[in-house]
Amino acid sequence: MKLLHFADLHLGVENYGHLDAATGLNTRFLDFLHTLDRLVDYAIESRIDLVIFSGDAYKNREPSQTQQREFAKRIRKLSENSVPVFLLVGNHDLPNAAGRATSTEIFDTLAVNNVYVSGKPEIRRISTKSGVVQVASLPWLRRSALLSREDVKNLGVEEIKKRLEDILTGIVADHAAKLDTALPSILAAHVWINGSQLGSEKSMSLGMEQGILLSNIALPALDYVALGHIHRYQILNDKPPVIYSGSLDRIDFGEETDAKGFMEIEIIGNGSNPRQVSYRFHTLEGRRFLTIKRIIEPDDANPTATVLQAIAAQPVQDAIVRLQISLPEQGSAQLNDMEIRNALKTAHYFNIAKESARETRLRLGKFTAEELTPLNALKAYLETKKVTDERAKVLLEYGEKLINETAGKDAK
């Protein structure tokens, strides 16, 4: 039996993009669709028995009609080619209010053939061309669905998180006890495993994290644990394999060097004897992110040429580029912005950030301004301006009064 596991598609991420003239759609949206197309084609061509999606189809909880249409096209293509699809509900798939439909629930409502949606903890038996596989699910659950007001009354944040962890652990243990040992068993979970390495999902978080210990999810009854929610591909355990496939495409520069793709799993054997499980990560090269850094030295006679040389050393074509230039104070005026932008014109998107290196100045005697108290700094400043003693005395009196008043306000 061959399975495919992916997660965190996040259709609707459009940062670093622009409108495509041919389609009227954002180019980053098209990037994500192109990556998904390659996954779908691979699943069909490789005769995958079951595709498991571990949550977060869209960036937003209420995706646009266009985003839903394009996602549905790809799911239908799998369905029509007799590739079953299991869709787990992630935190980005949940609506803002309880009682409203999830973003993937429409597939269940329309009873789309070969498509299974799970928005609650359950065990599904799915028939494939290579036999039956059981998929236990741990979707993202609202805190209100797990805890009553009485459960959390007078509890602190850490105590609530511990209570949630205990409940999730109990759900997984209950699943494991109910599994048929004669059938391949998969756990699909959209959850944060304590100790896993975070990616850009931290900045995209929509609420309190629901965590669980690795030891409480890597159970012997499971052949494979297909995780979603964390955007960085990582193998947390080998027997059974507990794996975050990661997001399918790069979302921001925090994922610049991260490998992106999906997992292919092969399960050999049946019955109650231990089954052989192998897996491999398939890399999908999406849009490249590229950071170019250049430090301009104070004695650089041609800083523009120095920056252009740094750009020429990198393949910027069709990439999303951020150029970071560190230069001496007042050095920005020496750069030819037009030439630099022209050198980056083949990039899909670029941003130029200039950071002026602050020079240490000794204008206040042998001390810098940072080493003096406000009153002493004022006194030293007046001395450098050669203010008369009489006038300096008056200014220092007023200065001391203002400093004390400000300090009093800050204390309040």
| pLDDT exceeds cutoff 80 at 201 | no
Mean pLDDT estimate for the chain: 88
**318 is written with which tokens?**
């069709």
Interval 20-55: pLDDT, tens:
999 999 999 999 999 999 999 999 999 999 999 999
98 beta partners: none
Paired strand residues for 277: 267
Q: Which of 163, 189, 192, 187 is nearest to 177 (CA)?
A: 187
Q: Where in the chain is the domain with CATH 3.60.21.10?
A: 2-283
Question: What pLDDT digit, counting tens, does each position of 327-342 carry?
Answer: 887 767 788 999 999 9
- pLDDT confidence bin for 360, thresholds 50/70/90: very low
pLDDT of residue 50: 98
Instruction: Read off the amino acid at residue 110.
Output: L
Exposure of 300 in the CB half-sphere (CA atoms within 13 A): 19
Answer whether residue 362 shows pLDDT above 60: no
Provide the CATH number for the domain formed by 2-283 in this structure. Answer: 3.60.21.10
Q: Is the pLDDT of residue 350 over 90?
A: yes
Q: Which two tokens stand for residue 200?
A: 């850009």
- In percent, the amount of the chain with pLDDT more than 90 equals 62
Under 8 Å between Cβ of 260 and 39 = no
Q: 388 burial class (0-12, 13-18, 19+ CB within 10 angstroms)?
A: exposed
Residue 287: CB atoms within 10 A of its CB come to 21
Residue 133 pLDDT exceeds 90: yes
389 band by pLDDT with thresholds 50, 70 and 90: confident
How far is it, in rounded angstroms, from Cα 93 to Cα 80?
24
* Residues 6+ away with beta carbon under 8 Å from 351: 321, 322, 323
The residue type found at 264 is E
pLDDT, tens only, 248-275: 999 999 999 999 999 999 999 866 667 9
Residue 188, strand partner residues = 137, 226
d(CA 132, CA 126): 6
Q: Three-state SS across the chain?
A: CEEEEEECCCECCCCCCCECCCCCCEHHHHHHHHHHHHHHHHHHHCCCCEEEECCCCECCCCCCHHHHHHHHHHHHHHHHCCCCEEEECCHHHCCCCCCCCCCCCHHHHCCCCCEEEECCCEEEEEEECCEEEEEEEECCCCHHHHCCHHHHCCCCHHHHHHHHHHHHHHHHHHHHHHCCCCCCEEEEEECEECCCCCCHHHCCCCCCCCEECHHHCCCCCCCEEEEECCCCCEEEEECCEEEECCECCCCCHHHCCCCCEEEEEEEECCCCCCCEEEEEEEECCCCCEEEEEEECCCCCCCHHHHHHHHHHCCCCCCCEEEEEEEEECCHHHHCCHHHHHHHCCCCCEEEEEEEEECCCCCCECCECHHHCCHHHHHHHHHHHCCCCHHHHHHHHHHHHHHHHHHHHHHHC
- 10 Å CB burial of residue 200 (0-12, 13-18, 19+) is buried
pLDDT tens digits for 104-121? 888 887 888 999 999 999
